[in-house]
Chains A and B, each alone.
Chain A
Amino acid sequence: MHPAFSVIFLTTLIGVGQGMFLALFTGQSYSAVELLPSQDSTQFYGYGAIIALLFLIGGLIASFFHLGRPERAWRAASQWRTSWLSREVIVLPILMFLVFVYAVMHYLGWDSVLFTSETGARLQLTLIVATLGMLATFALFICTGMIYACLKFLQEWHSPLTVINYTLLGTASGFVLATAFSQHNAPELMRFYGIWSTIITVAALITRVASLIRNANLKSKSTVQTAIGVRHNTIKQKAMGFMGGSVNTRDFFNHASLVLMKSMKWIFLLLVFPLPLVLLWLGMHENNATLLFSAFIVQYIGLLAERWYFFAQANHPQNLYYQTV
C-alpha cells in the first residue's frame, strides 16, 4: 500500500494522546490507593490532560487531509454497525470530550472525594471520568487497529498483532511523553513513568517483531492464476490497459525501493525501541528534561517510520492486476 501521511500522522498522534491519558489515569489510580503521592490537580493532571487533548486534536486534523470531501465527514458516524472506521469516528470525539472534561475538572478543582475507604483509599470524581476515558482509550485503540486488521485479504494486517501493536506502541509513546512531562510537573512520578515506559516499550518490541516475523513468512493466498482464473504456471501480464497510471497504480503500491524498505525497518526498530530507552534512562539519571523530551521525539519519529513501514509492507491483491504497463 502507498503510505498516506495523513493516516500516518493520525494514528501516531492519537496514539500519543491516548498513551498520555492512560499515563495520567494510571498515576491517579495509583495515588488514589496511596501507592503514589498525590499530585497537583492543575499542574499535573490538568496540564497533562490538555497535552493529551492537543495530540488527539492534532490527529483529528491530520485525518481530515485523508478525506476527499471533509465537509461531509459527519456522515462517517452513521455505519457503526458494520464499519470499524465509523466506530473510530464515534469513539475519538467521545474520548476527546472525556479528556476535555477531565482537564477542566482538574483545572477548576472540581474534584470532590466521593468515598473514602477504611484504608484511606479515596474515590475522587475525576477518577470516574478518568475510568470512562480509559475505557474510551482502549476502545479507540481497538477501532484503529481493527480498521486494518479486519481487511482479510491484506494478509500482513489481518492479525490480532495489528491491534496489539497499535495499542502498545501508542501507549509506549504516551508514557515516554508522560515521563518527560513529569520531570518538571511531578518529579516524584518520573521514575514510575520511566519504568512503565520501559516495560511497555519492551512489550511493544516483542509484539512488533512477532508481526515482522509473521509477515516475513506469509504466503500470498491470491496469485495471478486465481486473479484471472487461468491454470498455468507461467502467466505474464503484457498490458494493464492504460499507460499513464491510475489510482490503482498510485494508491496500492508503495513505490519504495527495496533498499528503502529494508533500511526503514531497521530505522524504526532502532528509533522506536533501544534509542529512546537509552535517552530515557540517561535523562532520568541526569534528571535532564532535554534528554527526556528527546527520548519522546526520537520515539515519535521512529513511530512515523514504523507506520510508514506498516503501510508500505502490506501487499494488496489488486496489485496482481497491475504488474506491467
Chain B
Amino acid sequence: MTQLALVIDLNVCVGCHACVTSCKEWNTSGSSGFMTDENPYGKDPTGTFFNRVQTYEIGEFPSTETLHFPKSCLHCEDPPCVPVCPTGASYKREEDGIVLVDYDKCIGCRYCSWACPYGAREIDETQKVMKKCTLCVDRIYDESLPESERKPACVLACPTNARLFGDVHDSSSEVSVTIREEGGYQLMPEWGTKPANHYLPRRKTRMHIHEDELQRADNPLKKEERGPSKPVDGPTLDDSTSW
C-alpha cells in the first residue's frame, strides 16, 4: 500500500513562507475553485490556507532557539476526521493514502474540523465547504508536467529543500530512509492518529575536538624533526684528509 506524505526538516526550515505562498498560488488556481481571500489588503485580512508556517521560541533568553514550524494536513493513516463526516465528502484514498474532501458533497457542517486535533482543516467562508491540503493531488499525477515537477507545490518552492515528498510505506524511499536515519517523528502521537507526515528534529552539528587531537602524540612532523647535532670531539673526515 502506498502512503504519500511529506517529511519536513525543521533543521533546515528558515521560515520564509515560500511553501505557504506557492501552495496558495497553485491551489487557488486549481480546478476545484479559488481559495478565499477576504480583505487581502484591508484591516482584517482572512482567508483559506492549506499550509502555515509558525514560529516558536524554545528556551529562555539568552539560551534560546528559534523553530520555524510548517503545518499542514498530516494525511493521518487513521484519520479521525474521516469517519465523523456525515456525507462521505471526507475520505482517504485507498491507492495513495491522501485524505481529501469532495467539495461537491461537503455540507459545511464543520464536524470534521472539530475532529482534527491539528486544526488542519479550514472552512472556506465563500464556498462554505471544508478545505484542506490535497498534497497537490492535481499536480503529482499530471503527466503533462515534466516528471521532476510532479511534486506538491510547497516541496518545489522550498529554497532550503526542507520538504521531502514520497511514499512512507516504501521502506527504501528517500522519505522512509530519512525518517529512519534522521529521527523523523509524528505530531501528537498521544491520539493514535498515525500521521503520515513526519518532522525531522533540529540537529546541532557540533565539532568534537579532543585535547590529544590538538597535541598529537604521534605527530609525524615531530617524528621527522631533527634535533641540533652535537659538537664532535674526535677528528673529522676533514681533519684526516687533506686535498
Contacts and interface: CB of A to CB of B under 8 A. Distances in A.
A152 B80 CA distance: 9
Given A84-B84, A85-B111, A244-B46, A317 B188 contact: yes
Given A222-B190, A247-B122, A247-B123, A239 B87 contact: no
B128 interface: yes
A241 B109 contact: no
A48 B3 CA distance: 56
B49 interface: yes
B58 A238 contact: no
B87 A235 contact: no
Interface string B105-136: 11111110111111100110101110000000
Contacts of B202: 230
Contacts of A221: 190-191
B39 interface: yes
Interface stretch (A20-28, A29-37, A73-81, A272-280): A73-81
A294 interface: no
Chain B CB within 10 Å, residue with most, of A73, A84, A240, A318:
A318
B185 interface: yes
B20 A68 contact: no
Interface in A59-99: 66-70, 72-73, 75-79, 82-86, 89
Q: Mostly helix, strand, loop or mixed at chain B's interface? A: loop
Contact of B84 (A85, A244, A245): A85
B56 A322 contact: no
A226 B189 contact: yes
Interface string A213-242: 000000001101011111010111111111
Nearest to B120: A318
Contact of A76 (B60, B86, B118, B201): B86
A96 to B, nearest CB: 18
Interface in A308-325: 316-319, 321-322
A70 B69 contact: no
Interface string B46-89: 11110011111111100000110101000000001011111111
A237 B47 CA distance: 21
A237 B83 CA distance: 32
Interface in B142-201: 185-191, 199, 201
Interface residues of B, number: 61
Contact of A78 (B86, B110, B113, B125): B86
B235 interface: no
B92 to A, nearest CB: 12
Interface string A1-18: 100000000000000000
Given A68-B123, A238-B55, A79 B188 contact: no
A66 B107 CA distance: 10
Contacts of A76: 86-87, 107, 109
| The 10 A-B residue pairs with the shortest CB-CB distance in the complex, in nearest-first order | A68-B108, A318-B119, A68-B128, A241-B52, A82-B83, A86-B86, A244-B45, A76-B86, A75-B87, A239-B55
Interface of B: 17, 20, 39, 44-49, 52-60, 66-67, 69, 71, 80, 82-89, 105-111, 113-119, 122-123, 125, 127-129, 185-191, 199, 201-202
Interface of A: 1, 66-70, 72-73, 75-79, 82-86, 89, 147, 150-154, 221-222, 224, 226-230, 232, 234-248, 251-252, 316-319, 321-322
22 contacts: A69-B106, A72-B87, A72-B107, A75-B89, A78-B87, A82-B83, A86-B87, A152-B191, A221-B191, A227-B187, A228-B56, A228-B187, A235-B57, A235-B58, A237-B56, A238-B57, A240-B52, A243-B45, A246-B46, A316-B119, A317-B191, A321-B118
